[in-house]
Structure formats: C-alpha cells, structure tokens
Amino acid sequence: MLPAEGLEALALRYGNLYGPGTGFAPDGDLAELVRRGRLPIIGDGAGVRSFVHVDDVATATLAAAQRGEGGVYNVVDDEPASVSVWLPEYAPALAAKPPRRVPAWIGRIAAGEVGISMMTRIRGASNEKAKRELGWEPRYRSWREGFRSGPDGPSPPRLRHGGPP
C-alpha cells in the first residue's frame, strides 16, 4: 500500500436516482413494476428514502469538484419521504393504479429481509452539508416536483454561490 499523506477523500452519497436512464424513468424497471401492480407497500411502509434527480447529481458533482473539501456529502433533495407517501404519488405519475398493501410477513417471502428493511426501516438523509459547503441547491427540491415535472423541469439548474450550472 502506498502512503496517502496529504490526500483528503471526498465522497458523494447519492440518494435514490430518478430521471432519464434510471429505474424510475417511464421506461425503467421500477416504473414497469409499479404499472404492473407488482410493487406493493410492505408492512407500514415507514422506510424513508431520499431522492435525487440525475440533473441534480450532475450539478452537485460539479460543485464538489470545484469547491469540495475532504468529507462526505449527501446529494439528495430537501424532502425525504416514507414509502407509504412517495409510492402512492409515484403511481399516478405513471398512470398506474395505486399500490397494494401487503403485510410484512408476505412481503418477506417475495422481497426478503433487504426488501423489508427498504420498505419499513431505512432512514433518509440530509443535504444540509452539501448545500452549505458546496453552495449547491437541488433543481428539484422535492421528489414530488421531480416526479410531476419529468426530465424537462421548470427551471435551469442553479448554484447558490455563482459558477457554472
């Protein structure tokens, strides 16, 4: 192993990506599951996800390359949401029926422990450090706006402290 004296690591932790080329895109795998009614809310659906649009990933990555210091930055929107909240709102964006609800013991058979954890126990993340230290603001402040607007949202990407978008 080579010594890493003077090196600082910078890590970007992206939330659940949505937008063109992702599973959440209209032609994506996850979207297809929702349209077919094969992505139910398991248990109480209290698992919280943090989302980020692919456009926001690009601007955050650029901001980190220009201004980032060593450390970990969560690249997510401003509104973490439980499965029981986001999934029923995502379905209509795809013209799909509302998701079914199934008890955790049934969900465990199909989704396993990881699926149960994602549906009932995971917790979202905060983007405050990325906003504060990188001068980054998400174009889609909420997955709600992003799910409704699609890839061609209402405003151009922006950085708080100037620089290229």
State the SS3 of 19-59. Answer: CCCCCCCCCCHHHHHHHCCCCCEECCCCCEECEEEHHHHHH
| Confidence band for 81, pLDDT divided at 50, 70 and 90 | very high
Average the pLDDT over 81-94 and give the result.
Answer: 95
pLDDT at 71 over 50: yes
The whole-chain average pLDDT of the chain stands at 88
- pTM summary value: 0.84
> What does the alpha-carbon distance between residue 84 and residue 119 come to, in Å, rounded to a whole number?
9
> What does the alpha-carbon distance between residue 140 and residue 28 come to, in Å, rounded to a whole number?
20
> What does the alpha-carbon distance between residue 161 and residue 159 come to, in Å, rounded to a whole number?
6
Here the tokens at position 106 are 């049934």
| Confidence band for 2, pLDDT divided at 50, 70 and 90 | low
CB-based contact 87:107 (threshold 8 Å): no
Domains and CATH numbers, the chain: 26-145 (3.40.50.720)
Average the pLDDT over 25-29 and give the result.
Answer: 93
CB-based contact 38:105 (threshold 8 Å): no
Average the pLDDT over 12-33 and give the result.
Answer: 95
97-136 pLDDT, tens digit per residue, is 999 999 999 999 989 999 999 999 999 999 999 999 999 9
pLDDT at 161 over 70: no
Host H or E run for residue 16: strand 16-18
pLDDT at 164 over 50: no
